[in-house]
Amino acid sequence: MSEFFWFLVGAMFAIILDKYKEWYRYRENLKRINLEIQKITNSLEARLHELPKELRSKIKVAQEGGISKLGEVDLRGLPLIEITQPHDTAAWQTFISNGFTNNLNENDYKVLSDSYNILEGTNFVKGLTPSLLSACASDIIDLDTKQYLKQAIKTNPLQPIIFALPKMKAANKLVESLNKTNCIKSFLTFVF
Gap between the Cα atoms of 30 and 28, Å rounded:
5
Residue 111 main-chain phi, psi, to 5 deg: -60, -50
Instruction: List per-residue pLDDT tens for the chain, 192 residues long.
Output: 788 888 888 889 898 888 889 889 999 999 999 999 999 999 889 988 888 888 888 888 877 777 777 777 777 767 656 666 778 899 999 999 999 999 889 999 999 999 999 888 888 888 888 888 888 888 888 888 888 887 777 777 788 888 888 999 999 999 999 888 877 777 777 776
Which pTM does this prediction carry? Answer: 0.80
